[in-house]
Amino acid sequence: MKRLFITAFLQVAMVSANTYFISKVAWLGIAACGFGISYLWTVNVKKISASTTRERIAYASGAMLGGLTGVALGTMVL
């Protein structure tokens, strides 16, 4: 369950940071996050497709915190 949290956290953190990078036209950040988002998405789909309710809650919690962290990191990088 910890792995679901971490992969969701990382994926949504990258989505949030990427949104910020796109708004600032930061090409390197856009490229790095775009790759990372797509790669983690392939990992997450396989994990979450056959999960329990507790695992889905862990995944959603990771995504929530990842979104907040991604915005914070994006603003700190730029």
Domain ranges of the chain: 2-10+18-77
29 neighbors 16 (Cβ within 8 angstroms): no
Confidence of residue 15 (pLDDT cuts 50, 70, 90): very high
Taking the CB of residue 45, how many other CB atoms lie within 10 A of it? 9
> How far is Cα 37 from Cα 78, in angstroms, rounded to an integer?
19
Question: Which pLDDT score is estimated for 25?
Answer: 95
Q: What mean pLDDT comes out for the span 37-62? A: 86
**In the chain, what is the straight-line distance between the N-terminal and C-terminal CA atoms, in Å?**
33
Confidence of residue 34 (pLDDT cuts 50, 70, 90): very high
Q: Whose CA is closest to 61, among 4, 22, 16?
A: 4
